[in-house]
Structure 1
């Protein structure tokens, strides 16, 4: 079992809520002691009706950077297709400064076709979007290295996805955090694949934090003491619960935070 401390994230889904409710939710998440507050990078709701209320990702992160003082913030995840890589690096550096060094740069290749078509981006294929991500990551790193002023710290990069030939190779080369929806035997298999990519590029796998997604209210099979311990035994240490508006109920999140504190206290 890994000795890396357990961390708890919350993904505040920026849909079906007024911004005042989202603002209140991120404040409450920080007060609760959550480690990371994520939003997502879409232009329309992903559930509950496509025409519902929705807000843009990076504008929101800039506001969160000013509003909060301790919680880390980021997108789970930024869609690489929507912004020039050099611009995205500059945006990330700026939000990192606004937040005094609390930004996580989450990024993925993109998948939600409705976003692309409505906003005029070329959807392409899964392969072409992954190739574009592979080309963007070195450009982002190079731009971050040349900005004045530099970022407050080396901004942690989170890459989301589980593709074994391309995505996990990108994780091995570029990521500090790997976010996955995999579980059980699938998670074990993909960690093995990632270790192979790390060995191929000369990277220490232990430098990469394994992040897993949680959903809904932990029930009989998804409790911190049960499901959380199972995933932790497989190597996961960052657990992110998605919470939707407009109410942003944190009852389940509170239980995960309490479990984190118990585990980390040893």
Structure 2
């Protein structure tokens, strides 16, 4: 399998908005930009995923609007937005607005949703994994159509990142709609699912090499674990960090590795 034509390796950080005061999150995103990361992500949940289940937590898109004003160079986005939580046309308008506030630095990361506690507490229909994927498949064209209708239009073609590895539905959506595919997987799984994605691209007439492939960083030193993923076609490596404080030491290591390539 050939590696992606997306050639430059990029480093992201996911600042998980849990267990922290907002002042600490603000400090962390400023430090991430200063260190030279390419993208700062948060996530779209209403409660912590790890640690104290009722701990401190902040909302995704309000935060992205603040980051759009606070930062000046890095791209920003959610890893990932839950499609179920907002009307697709509204989400498109929110993304377009943050795109303008940030002068064209938003990535729309999106997925079908999975954290049942969010759904129950906020009154959303949890459905099934299959029904949530079907809703995402219906939402993506609506988002694209709304972007084409908004005045003013987005500042650029807003990159769409789709997270997940379902081979029958999710990767087909990636082939049809995404600019970036994010994988939550080890090297062997990443390689196999990349092959599946390439097959969907062939079937749908999409150039597979247009899609940037992204991974959450595995444990280990970047120069030990990164090269094999690069050989397999990964180009975006994201370090996940949670509160109450955000130690960006590992991010610094990954940025240094990127700069050594």
Tell me the TM-score range normalised by the shorter chain. Answer: over 0.9
Q: Could you tell me how far apart the structure 1 residues matched to 2:73 and 2:197 are? A: 31
Does the CA-based 8 Å contact 2:4-2:212 persist in structure 1?
Answer: no
Corresponding residue number in structure 2 for 1:243: 241
Q: Distance in 2 between matches of 1:192 and 1:95?
A: 34
C-alpha root-mean-square deviation of aligned residues, in Å?
0.9
Indicate yes or no: 2:125 matched with 1:122.
yes
Q: Which consecutive aligned stretches of 4+ in structure 1 deviate over 2 angstroms post-superposition?
A: none
Which structure 2 residues correspond to residues 65-214 of structure 1 after superposition, within 5 A?
65-214=68-217
Counterpart-to-counterpart distance in 1, 2:242 and 2:227:
25
Cα deviation 1:151-179 (Å, max 9, x = unaligned): 01000000000000000000000000000
| Equivalent pair of 1:2/1:233 in contact (CA under 8 Å) | no
Q: Give how far 1:185 is off.
A: 1.8
Aligned-partner SS, 2:121 = helix
Unaligned runs of 5+ in 1: none
Separation in 1 of the partners of 2:4 and 2:44?
31
Cα distance, 1:78 vs. partner? 0.1
User: How big is the shift at 1:106?
Assistant: 0.1
Shift of 1:2: 4.3
What does the per-residue CA deviation read over 1:214-244, in whole Å, with 9 as the maximum and x for residues that have no partner? 26xx4xxx21111111111111010000011
Aligned residues: 258
Q: Distance in 2 between matches of 1:173 and 1:2?
A: 17
Structure 1 CA distance for aligned equivalents of residues 79 and 243 of structure 2: 17
Which of 225, 228, 234 aligns to 2:226? It is 228
* Alignment correspondent of 1:58: 61
Distance in structure 2 (CA, Å) of the matches to 1:113 and 1:22: 25
1:65 and 1:98 in contact (8 A); partners too: yes
2:249 and 2:237 mapped to 1: Cα distance? 16
Say if 2:108 and 2:159, in contact at 8 Å, map to a contact too. yes
Matching residue of 2:251? 253
Do the aligned partners of 2:4 and 2:210 also contact (CA within 8 Å) in 1?
no
Q: What's the TM-score once normalised by structure 1's chain length?
A: 0.95
Q: Distance in 1 between matches of 2:74 and 2:192?
A: 32
SS in 1 for 2:234: coil
Contact 1:183 1:231 in 2 (8 A): no
TM-score normalised to the size of structure 2?
0.97
Q: Distance in 1 between matches of 2:44 and 2:190?
A: 25
SS in 2 for 1:237: strand
Gaps of 5+ in 2: none
